[in-house]
Amino acid sequence: MKFSITGLNHRSAPVEVRERLAFAPESVAAALDGLKRRTGLQEGVILSTCNRVEIALSSTPEADARLAVEEFLADHRAVSRDWLRPHLYHHDGRAAVRHLFRVASSLDSMVVGEPQILGQIKEAYALARDHGSAGGLLEGVFSRAFSVAKRVRSETSIGRSAVSVSYAAVELARQIFGSLRDRKIMLVGAGKMSEQAARHLRQSGAGRIFVVNRTRERAEEMSALFEATVVDYERFQDVLPEIDILIASSGAPHYILTHNDVRRLLGARRNRPVFFIDIAVPRNIEPSVNELDNIFLYDIDDLQKVVDSNRLGRLEEAREAEAIVEEEVDRMMARWSARDVAPIIVSLQEQLEGLRQSELDRVRSRLGPLTPQQEEAVEALTRGIIGKIAHGPLAELRRHAGEPNGFQAIDTIRRLFRLRE
């Protein structure tokens, strides 16, 4: 059986192509059925996310897996193969194993180290397994991919630092306050940055979240997403004395909080600390606010410096992760080689034993009657000769089964002894 991966991602295809080829969750089961009906394809897993569409296959040696997937995707989305082909990549064998391990470990993601992709792969594999489309070879390689991703997470710090402005804002808040569980947080502005910040806040166990936006309808949409409380824009300063963390990203052309506003706020809070994160452009909070005691103010440039530093750190961690992946690929290929070489070893032993028996039968009539002791001696002699002949080839087969490129030596031995494949 052959293992392969064919697909496209954010590097090989623009978003409009990825959108066109993406699989809705409810359509994957039927798609798997269609995939398995194609000649030579035994097992399949379909991974479809916003950044990639990939199909992992177990197929017979003679099957053209790349062509099969190309035709399948073209038929599935009613597009021409000429339009599709330039965006596709294809990996076989070792390259396919490496690709899967890298994707699972988030080394192939748009944001290196992001944790979502592993969960998406697990869901894709579980769906294929439950549908009867994954077992045997795919079970082994996907299970190993999950273990490799876990090892990368535990042995490197690749996913432990913020690499987006909104995530960096939440991480800074955690550094200042520790646990966010009992903290009250206000989001001023309900755009994409605020939505991302709210998502990170919820994942960090934040307490109560308030949403403020000039357009109340959008604020209510955000509040429904994150179980937040809507505050009217005109009265958000009245609520500020309750707030520990404020993330501002409104489109106001002027400061929504001035130095004097924050001075009064500190009085109402009896100088309890407040954390301001201003990710708006132009800025929402007057910079001189940072001169006040118990006020921590970070703007988007401050956060970008944190993000840039963390990205460099992730690149360093990624180098360590790549070494782990390569080591695990070697192990996987050695395991497969050992599995593949077992029939060759059996075939060689059977062939040599057959030769021994046929030669004994040929000369037995000339030897005349043999005593039991003589029969035993002849058997021992001929078995010993065969064992010495077989020792070298068998040792080489076993040794090369554990090497990444051992298939070349194994194939040489197979052809020398004219063994069946």
Q: Do the Cβ atoms of 130 and 286 come closer than 8 Å?
A: no
**Surface-to-core class of residue 225, CB atoms within 10 Å of its CB (0-12 exposed, 13-18 middle, 19+ buried):** middle
CB 41 within 8 A of CB 65: yes
Distance between CA atoms of 32 and 29, rounded to whole angstroms? 5
Q: To 10 degrees, the CA torsion angle through 171, 172, 175, 180?
A: -60
| Helices 300-367 + 407-416 axis angle, to 10 | 20
Spatial contact of 260 and 295, defined as CB atoms under 8 Å apart: no
Please name the residue that has the structure tokens 């020398």.
416
List phi, psi (to 5°) of 180.
Answer: -100, 5
Closest CA to 273 of 292, 300, 298, 301: 292
Do the beta carbons of residue 171 and residue 194 sit within 8 Å?
Answer: no
Joined tokens for residue 377: 């001696």
Backbone angles phi, psi at 250, to 5 degrees: -80, 165
Q: Cα separation of 343 and 164, whole Å?
A: 52
Strand order in the sheet with 2-9: 41-48, 52-59, 2-9, 89-92
Q: Check if the beta carbon of residue 101 is closer than 8 Å to that of residue 329.
A: yes
Q: Indicate which residue of 15, 30, 50, 377 is catalytic.
A: 50
Whether 392 is catalytic is no
Residue 248 CA to residue 20 CA, distance in Å, equals 36
**Complete DSSP assignment for 133-196:** ---THHHHHHHHHHHHHHHHHHHS-TTSS--SHHHHHHHHHHHHHS--TT-EEEEE--SHHHHH
Residue 184 β-bridge partners: 208
Residues catalogued as catalytic: 50
